[in-house]
Structure 1
């Protein structure tokens, strides 16, 4: 692509009032942004473009500095600007109703055209949810799928880490400019993803964190992927928006069920009621999306250290625990439980129960859950 052509793409992407839908109409009308920018306002209007898109090129000078910043960012060896007419543009993303005209990619741009599965969910996930996301992602990545998520804390982070743990590829989609990482706590993770996958955004250099941009980010996650798996999500979770966008784009939407008492399982249950597939293992995910990936033959992943989401392998048996610890685990059951409720069930004093819970947490058998609850994380035989 010539410098002038790239300049036109970057200009269109930055013009005020020219979002993805307007860009799509511009490309349908003119074929490329250069012809759009060179046209008269009368011609743009005659072609039925939205009013904002008709007049937006008046402000070309106002975006010149931004375009220069985009081009400086792309000078790094691992930074790429991919436009709609670039052969590296992901075909899956091009098929959604409002594909972005420009992508900013850091890392290996080739992973964007590989079969991807989105794994998303709650930021304030339970320990059990994070473990499930990591195990699912590890299994799917080892089977040959690229794991795509949003770099958020909670389920997204666990999904990226699960893929990296088995040497798989993962894609992080951001709502900010490519020169920023949000949340800041995930800077080290973003660096690893850039080395073993790709970080992608449609927002140009300098775009700050803005709440309204996350739905746009979520449509890219769904659009890049052949299917979306939701693991823990509240009723108003952005992960649900990702799943619904997948459905709208004709992709598979899947949800992992949880306890009826777990508030971050409510969104998954709502998705299942709305028609999403209920999945309990990564192998079920593979079966759901196999037909959508031409020529895909799953590799056989090795069991993941610390447990596998697809089979019931007890981590150990009751012999490793004393009688009081066994009694507390039995009293907990498999749903999140409040300290006061467990106190009544186990018939212990608060100080003794606190001591037992600490031991079980240190051994990895339980973990604190949201809202001051506790939840079992192991699957010991006998329980």
Structure 2
């Protein structure tokens, strides 16, 4: 059984080989499915879930394919004519030309940090290399039209993270993204860019030389096919990948309505710590960061705050015994405030530790935030951070009067 292999030119122009554990036939089958009009990452994932491999899917009958949810008849018809298509040969040629490889779900190369989350693309394209050490990564995102101070803060933070052994992840965009990538490179570290277009094109074009340096010390990642041009609809998916690949996400300058805020929301939904750097109240580019901090994001003053957040994740593990065990304390007042475990519906599966304590404390209905803190036995800082995460994940909501309730 042959495995995939692509020619790569190193900096001296010598030919090297890029290996993958994915068999050649399966790679071609994956690309065949991915290139069929109407089959995007989510539908491809559903097809692979149904048949196990892309090769098996291509060998399925139309009636078998019809059992895949949301796979329309016209797409099945296109699929039957796609096997051996010139489009697959052209895609493979582009991959060879740009020394790109595929990270496929189910292979050792696929990022382990993405495995827990539903809806992740089963196929990623890569220029450069993705290493197990890149699981130790922090995302830095922010405004494209950042101020000089914002660029300085992002670059300085990325330099510190790189020297601390973290991979810096961003989106290769102008502004904060570019400053973060450059900071990691300047510090001699690794950096990865998640792109909203195919890897045959560097966007924006002025980052072409920086992208070359990143391929040598990290890489470029995309779920888009090689020749895909940038489109607005691809950026939200890109933002979700940035947060999934990161242990924490730091926001440096963002307006109140900004694509970078979407990355923060995704991070909260995925249980990642979300940090935001404050700025001047007169700076509209700080408004998004201030809103996140108001909602419970971690105030980021510099490297130490990020290292602390990564070392102490927001979603805490339960302590030994029940979260609601009555402690043997002499203080009768403290003992009286302990609430026995309520009989409650099954909590959402992503809740654990602090978030589960909040969910259980809300079993009898909405609570004022001070009462919720008492019942959940969380510190004010921990309570606010976890509530931010749960609100972003749509498991609780704030009501008038500073009360919190479960979402139905």
Q: TM-score if structure 1 supplies the norm length?
A: 0.72
- Please give the per-residue CA displacement for 1:9-54, whole angstroms capped at 9, x wherever unaligned: 11222222222222222222222222223222322333x51133x6
Partner SS for 1:74: helix
Give the 5 Å matches for 1:1-383: 1-46=22-67, 48-52=68-72, 55-60=74-79, 61=81, 64-75=85-96, 78-110=99-131, 113-291=134-312
Structure-2 separation of matches of 1:260 and 1:277: 18
Partner SS for 1:203: coil
- Please give the per-residue CA displacement for 1:177-214, whole angstroms capped at 9, x wherever unaligned: 11000001111111111111111111111101211111
Partner SS for 2:201: coil
Does structure 2 conserve the Cα–Cα contact (< 8 Å) formed by 1:111 and 1:198?
A: no
Structure 2: tracts of 5 or more residues without a match:
1-21, 315-408
State the shift of 1:70 in Å: 2.3
State the shift of 1:292 in Å: 5.2
Structure 1: tracts of 5 or more residues without a match:
294-383
Does structure 2 conserve the Cα–Cα contact (< 8 Å) formed by 1:90 and 1:112?
A: no
Query: Could you say which residue in structure 2 is the equivalent of 1:362?
Result: none
- Structure 1 stretches of 4+ with a deviation exceeding 4 A read none
Does structure 2 conserve the Cα–Cα contact (< 8 Å) formed by 1:111 and 1:169?
A: no
Does structure 2 conserve the Cα–Cα contact (< 8 Å) formed by 1:235 and 1:266?
A: yes
Structure-2 separation of matches of 1:65 and 1:270: 50
Does structure 2 conserve the Cα–Cα contact (< 8 Å) formed by 1:171 and 1:199?
A: yes
Partner SS for 2:169: strand
Distance change >3 Å, CA 112–CA 97, structure 1 → 2: farther
Distance change >3 Å, CA 26–CA 113, structure 1 → 2: farther
Structure-2 separation of matches of 1:233 and 1:76: 37
Structure-1 separation of matches of 2:65 and 2:212: 43
Distance change >3 Å, CA 4–CA 57, structure 1 → 2: farther
Structure-2 separation of matches of 1:27 and 1:250: 26
Partner SS for 2:117: coil
Computed over aligned residues only, the root mean square deviation of the Cα atoms, in angstroms, reads 2.0
State the shift of 1:111 in Å: 6.1
Greater RCO between the two (CA within 8 Å, min separation 6)? 1
State the shift of 1:254 in Å: 1.1
Structure-2 separation of matches of 1:254 and 1:288: 8
Partner SS for 1:109: coil
Structure-1 separation of matches of 2:74 and 2:271: 34
Identify, as 1 or 2, the structure richer in helix.
Answer: 1
Structure-1 separation of matches of 2:133 and 2:205: 24
Does structure 2 conserve the Cα–Cα contact (< 8 Å) formed by 1:69 and 1:205?
A: no
Structure-1 separation of matches of 2:161 and 2:76: 45
**55-64 or 279-288, which deviates more:** 55-64
Q: TM-score if structure 2 supplies the norm length?
A: 0.67
**78-87 or 188-197, which deviates more:** 78-87
Structure-2 separation of matches of 1:243 and 1:66: 36
State the shift of 1:62 in Å: 5.3
State the shift of 1:79 in Å: 2.3
**79-88 or 56-65, which deviates more:** 56-65
Does structure 1 conserve the Cα–Cα contact (< 8 Å) formed by 2:32 and 2:82?
A: no
